[in-house]
């Protein structure tokens, strides 16, 4: 098998996998544009005969999506800010200092990553109720998301810090900088790309969070888009075009962010691969 044929075969496989992965997104957008009768046509059509473009502003106004999207942005931004402030320092310590206690700390961080949200929600709900944090529902969700996503952030940013040569810090210390000064003036600027990428991934994850938001936020005015989309569902639901329109408006900002920043995300994820 020649190298050219092998490359073309790999490209074909990659395109097929991409098509399989992206088809549900395509079907979501297409279903949103179909009429009620066309959605249940057999065999199904892959493009609507009469696209209903007006359904997007109609659903946006009918369901008050502006409020849901704003709550999603507030929760995601608050989670990213809290995780970035606390997680950056933790990742730096785990990257620079090596002893048995640091290894134990890293192991515990990784163990937290594998705990599912469905398992953590009950003790978190009880704790927030007893401490009064549940009186501030969005804050409670931000804290819960931070507890869940912090390990992921630490692991990614730790790899970025490990790719920054220690010699640069040692040179800064020789020049009279303190350890904190070397961190702020030397290490942090060099690691900002990896930190930014980790923050973007956390934001996208928090923007679509459902379990904590559904369990901790009871007021409709404070619920994010993921919970608002769930409110569409019911035992006799048949307005799938409206559901898909809501989902399309909800998902499109995340997709656009990923497409615009894909090169930076890939470079940030691989920044700690080689030292």
Contact 158, 194 (CB under 8 A): no
Please report whether residue 249 resides in a domain.
yes
Instruction: Tell me which of 268 and 84 has the higher pLDDT.
Output: 84
In 3D space, the residue among 91, 85, 105, 79 whose CA is nearest the CA of residue 156 turns out to be 91
Mean pLDDT in residue range 97-115? 77
| Per-residue pLDDT band at 1 (split at 50, 70, 90) | low
> Do 11 and 117 share a domain, yes or no?
no
pLDDT number for residue 138: 93
> Do 27 and 73 share a domain, yes or no?
no
| pLDDT over 70 percentage in the chain | 93
User: 13: helix, coil or strand?
Assistant: helix
DSSP 52: -
Full-model pTM = 0.83
The CATH number linked to 113 is 1.10.3720.10
- Residues contacting residue 153 through CB under 8 Å, at least 6 positions apart: 83, 84, 87, 91, 198, 199, 202
| Per-residue pLDDT band at 273 (split at 50, 70, 90) | very low
- Residues contacting residue 115 through CB under 8 Å, at least 6 positions apart: 148
Please report whether residue 91 resides in a domain.
yes
> Do 78 and 145 share a domain, yes or no?
yes
Q: Tell whether the model's pLDDT for residue 271 goes beyond 60.
A: no
pLDDT number for residue 208: 86
Which residue range is the domain that position 88 belongs to? 64-270
Cα separation, 100 vs 252, whole angstroms: 45
Across all residues in the chain, what is the average pLDDT?
85
pLDDT digits (tens, 9 = 90+) for 222-234: 999 888 888 777 6
In 3D space, the residue among 18, 17, 19, 67 whose CA is nearest the CA of residue 46 turns out to be 19
pLDDT digits (tens, 9 = 90+) for 36-47: 778 888 888 888
Tell me the residue length of the chain: 275
Rounded to 10 deg, the angle between the 100-113 and 65-96 helix axes is 160
Cα separation, 150 vs 139, whole angstroms: 16
Please report whether residue 59 resides in a domain.
no
pLDDT digits (tens, 9 = 90+) for 15-54: 999 899 889 999 999 988 888 778 888 888 888 888 888 8
> Do 256 and 155 share a domain, yes or no?
yes
In 3D space, the residue among 71, 114, 98 whose CA is nearest the CA of residue 226 turns out to be 71
């Amino acid at each position: 098998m020649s190298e050219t044929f092998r490359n073309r075969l790999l490209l074909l496989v990659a395109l097929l996998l991409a098509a399989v992965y992206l088809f549900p997104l395509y079907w979501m957008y297409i279903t949103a544009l179909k009429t009620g009768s066309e959605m249940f046509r057999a065999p199904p059509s892959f493009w609507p005969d009469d696209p209903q473009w007006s359904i997007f502003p109609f659903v946006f106004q009918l369901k008050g999506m502006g409020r849901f999207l704003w709550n999603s942005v507030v929760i995601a931004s608050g989670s990213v800010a809290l995780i970035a402030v606390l997680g950056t320092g933790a990742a730096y310590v785990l990257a620079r200092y090596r002893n048995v206690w640091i290894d134990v700390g890293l192991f515990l961080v990784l163990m937290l990553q594998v705990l599912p949200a469905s398992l953590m929600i009950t003790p978190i709900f009880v704790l927030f109720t007893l401490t009064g944090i549940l009186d501030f529902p969005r804050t409670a969700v931000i804290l819960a998301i931070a507890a869940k996503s912090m390990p992921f952030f630490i692991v990614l940013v730790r790899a970025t810090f490990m790719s920054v040569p220690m010699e640069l810090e040692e040179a800064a210390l020789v020049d009279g900088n303190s350890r904190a000064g070397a961190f702020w003036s030397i290490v942090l600027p060099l690691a900002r790309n990896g930190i930014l990428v980790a923050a973007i991934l956390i934001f996208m994850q928090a923007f679509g969070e459902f379990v904590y938001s559904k369990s901790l936020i009871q007021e409709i005015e404070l619920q994010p888009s993921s919970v608002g989309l769930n409110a569409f569902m019911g035992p006799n639901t048949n307005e799938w075009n409206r559901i898909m329109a809501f989902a399309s408006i909800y998902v499109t900002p995340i997709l656009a962010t990923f497409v615009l920043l894909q090169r930076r995300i890939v470079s940030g994820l691989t920044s700690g691969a080689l030292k």
